Amino acid sequence: MPDFIEEKIIEGCLKNDRVAQKALYDQYKTKMYTLAFRITNNFEDAADAVQEGFLQVFESLPTFNGDSKLGTWIHTIIARAALKKVKSQMHFEEISENNQDIFIDWGSDIDVQQLEKAIAGLPAGYRSIFTLYEVEGFKHREIAEMLDISVNTSKTQLLKAKRMLISRLNNGG
């Protein structure tokens, strides 16, 4: 979205203009729902996370200072709202394992549906961290802050998620 249009939408939202709020929501809703669903793996939880996240966006918009792009800021809020939905399902163990990153060569013949099914089948903690790191591009430090875990735990959970994915993909799901 061009910056001048975004600025007008933000100005309108700050004045509680429903048209501007709808424009902002419409601009980001699909992308944010996809993010929330990838984290929660549940349609209703994803929809709730988007709704709760956008309420927070509108409440917090006066604090948005433009240090990042608006979309990035919204993305972080929705990710946190989705994580809140699944946090009770997550169980992390602090393991001092050699956290060498595993590179997965997906190749050109990867079955995308099989991959999505394998990711969806991961335990909540693995799936969330894998999605945040590998799909959404968050850093381990950011993930650790969002989940109130250590950076090492985030790295360990990602490593375990990758190992589980590799095993599931090699065994046909």
Q: Kindly tell me if the per-residue pLDDT of 18 is higher than 90.
A: yes
Q: Mean pLDDT over residues 117-124, rounded?
A: 90
The dihedral formed by the CA atoms of 71, 76, 79 and 81, expressed in degrees to the nearest 10: -110
Helices 140-147 and 70-86 pack at an angle, to 10 degrees, of: 50
Per DSSP, the chain holds a count of helices (H) and strands (E) of 8, 0
Give the model's confidence band at 90: pLDDT under 50 very low, under 70 low, under 90 confident, else very high: confident
Q: Kindly tell me if the per-residue pLDDT of 168 is higher than 70.
A: yes
Q: Kindly tell me if the per-residue pLDDT of 56 is higher than 60.
A: yes
The whole-number pLDDT of residue 170 equals: 80
Q: What is the pLDDT of residues 136-165, one digit of tens each?
A: 899 999 999 988 889 999 999 999 998 888
Which residues contact residue 76 at a Cβ distance below 8 angstroms, ignoring those fewer than 6 apart? Answer: 142
- Domains belonging to the chain, first-starting first, are 3-89 (1.10.1740.10), 112-170 (1.10.10.10)
Q: Kindly tell me if the per-residue pLDDT of 173 is higher than 60.
A: no
% of residues, the chain, pLDDT over 70 = 85
The whole-number pLDDT of residue 101 equals: 60
Lowest mean pLDDT among 68-77, 101-110, 128-137: 101-110
Task: Say what the pTM is.
Answer: 0.72
Q: What is the pLDDT of residues 61-75, one digit of tens each?
A: 999 988 888 999 999
Please return the burial class of 157, using the count of CB atoms within 10 Å of its CB with bins 0-12, 13-18 and 19+: buried
Mean predicted lDDT score pLDDT of the chain: 86
